Amino acid sequence: MTPDQAEIAITMVIALFAFLGAGVWIALSLVGVGWIGLAFFSSVPIEKSLATSMWQTTASWTLAALPLFIWMGEILFRARLSEILFRGIAPWVNWLPGRLMHVNVLGCGIFAAICGSSAATVATIGRMSLPELQRNGYDRTLSVGSLAGSGTLGLLIPPSIIMIVYGVAADVSIVRLFLAGVLPGVMLIVLFMGYLAFMAIVRPEVSPRDAARTSLREKLVRSGGLLPVVALILAVIGSIYLGIATATEAAAGGVIGALVLAAWTRSLTRKMFFESLLSATTLSCMIFFILAGAAFLTTSLAYTGLPRALAGWIGAMELNPYALIAALCVLYVVLGCFIEGISMIVLTATVVLPLVSAVGFDLVWFGIFIIIVVEMAQITPPLGFNLFVIQGLTGLNIFAVARAALPFFVLLLTGALLLTIFPEIATWLPSTMD
């Protein structure tokens, strides 16, 4: 990297943090930094670059799935599913060490498969599970920590909003990303449940010793409400995997299924319908705006030559591929303390993705890896979104919630390490499509 290129990089980084520190919207901050790059360090017409880059990014058929999956999640978020999940799962986990705390993990895993939002997953499951766990005498710290950690599954288990954003940024198949997230999601569920069982064995006081006995018939009756939920999951993911529908078509079907499910739970009203639609529209517009701003910044960086220079500089250092992955893991965890996940991915994609490709990592695998790292950021103060949601549910201090979530941060780090050592966890299922 030449001194001139180093000066450009420093100027643009300072400008970005100045914009963000001043409270400017992330999308506008990205546009502002891109404008500075083109205005001061190139002779390219700004207006044409701005219009072209933004249009090419947002006028994408792939992105059509995004608002549909968001709307599907918003409908289900308001459909009283937490009660159905708790009643259906609780009888089957009472024999496990830790008992009802496993409802947090399995409930979040199931809801993540029909929602795609981490915050919505935490809020939906937490509203039902935390009062029940507290009423039955379960350890509050472990209950809160398990909810914070398990809520991150909303990012990883498909359909995932952040997967769609990464797929657009990295130009990889959304379907392959969805399939790649399945086994890592199961892996994290096993890690979380294993930790809860271990803690219940080591510290028996964290959960009640006596469990109510439930007959097989009663278990089946109470689980009956889960059948429509499971059917919706299988319909959405199965149609994609079997090639019956594209991600966008499956999302549209998911919206219809969510409306039917909401009507079945008698929570579908005119008010609920329009609230879910407005919320989905607001969130979708925010994400599209961020993607458009990131596209313009990407164009600006390309004209300044910074990504190529930075890639050459890092390549000259001859870093071990795994050293690069470790460095990126630290980078994203630090960024996650200040920036939310979607913004992190679109902000760093221009520089990071060419480096990852250059050292031979599969971009689908890297997408799953980076989503797990973003999950870690979701429970990292000061801007861990899951922490704020749980604080609102419990009234606990944000740092008390963060301490409760710390063991699950370590488990997520363990999951990222296992994924690095055994990349087939993410790549095997997508390879079956070939």
Q: Using the CB atoms, write b or e for 342-373: b if 16+ within 10 Å.
A: bbbbbbbbbbbbebbeeeebbbbbbbbbbbbb
ω into 159 cis (within 30 of 0): yes
What residues contact 425, with CB distance under 8 A and at least 6 apart?
Answer: 183, 184, 187, 418, 419
Q: Which residues of the chain have pLDDT under 70?
A: 1-5, 62, 82, 116, 209-216, 218-219, 222, 306-319, 337-340, 382-383, 434
What is the per-residue pLDDT for 212?
60
Q: Is the distance from CB of 74 to CB of 324 less than 8 angstroms?
A: no
Q: Is the distance from CB of 117 to CB of 156 less than 8 angstroms?
A: no
What is the per-residue pLDDT for 338?
63
Distance CA 273, CA 252 (A): 15
**Angstrom distances, CA of residue 257 to CA of 226, 228, 264, 290:** 14, 9, 10, 29
Structure tokens at 87: 């009643």
What is the per-residue pLDDT for 175?
85
Q: Is the distance from CB of 300 to CB of 33 less than 8 angstroms?
A: yes
Q: Using the CB atoms, write b or e for 98-135: b if 16+ within 10 Å.
A: bbbbbbbbbbbbbbbbbbbbbbbbbbbbbebbbeebee
Question: pTM (2 decimals)?
Answer: 0.79
Directed axis angle between helix 363-378 and helix 385-394, to 10°? 40
What is the per-residue pLDDT for 340?
67
Structure tokens at 434: 């070939």
What does DSSP assign to residue 211?
A: -
Residue 338 backbone phi and psi in degrees, to 5: -130, -20
**Angstrom distances, CA of residue 393 to CA of 4, 106, 318, 389:** 51, 19, 48, 6
What is the per-residue pLDDT for 190?
94
Residue the block writes with tokens 């930075």: 310
Structure tokens at 153: 């599954």
Distance CA 361, CA 214 (A): 49
Q: In the chain, how many H helices and how many E strands?
A: 23, 0
3-class state of residue 212 by DSSP: coil
AA identity, residue 322: Y
Residue the block writes with tokens 């079956």: 432
3-class state of residue 136 by DSSP: coil
What residues contact 163, with CB distance under 8 A and at least 6 apart?
Answer: 155, 174, 177, 178, 181, 367, 371
What is the per-residue pLDDT for 158?
82
Distance CA 37, CA 26 (A): 17
What does DSSP assign to residue 244?
A: S
